Amino acid sequence: MKKKNVFKLVGHRDNFPFFKEILEMGYHVFSMENAKLPGFYPNTFPDYPGVDYRQLRVGDVITIRVFFRIGAGRDVRADGGYMDLEVEHIEGETVFGVIQTRLPDEFPLQKGDSLELYPDEILYKTQRTEH
């Protein structure tokens, strides 16, 4: 994963809605739509170009931003970065991608796992692989 942001969860759990998902699932996929909602995220983020999901094809490599739960107890925090996925299937507006980025073993997602994504979660289309 590239480019990290670290957020302490202790004392902020009720302040930012995305912390609830991180605590329950162990991760949260950044959403450009949620970023427009005041107070959804603890920080502001750049304006990402996004993609037109209708232009995506199987084999395309896309980039998302993910926050993971790190630590426990009073030391629990969210650590985020970018993750690449290869598009494996598209169903309507839902894109299914296989994680290409190697992640630490303790993370709830791993390279090779499939993830269901929505268009507002896809930040970039990076390249196309051969199939």
- Where are the domains positioned within the chain? 2-128
Q: What is the pLDDT of residues 50-75, one digit of tens each?
A: 999 999 999 999 999 999 998 887 78
- 22 or 10: which carries more pLDDT confidence? 22
Average pLDDT over the chain reads: 86
DSSP string, the chain: -EEEEEEE-TTTTTT-HHHHHHHHHSEEE--HHHHTSTTSSSS---------GGG--TTEEEEEEEEEEES-GGG-EEEEEEEEEEEEEEETTEEEEEE-S---TTSSS-TT-EEEE-GGG--EEEEE---
pTM: 0.83
Q: What is the pLDDT of residues 74-91, one digit of tens each?
A: 788 888 999 999 999 999
pLDDT at position 10 over 50: no
- 5 or 34: which carries more pLDDT confidence? 34
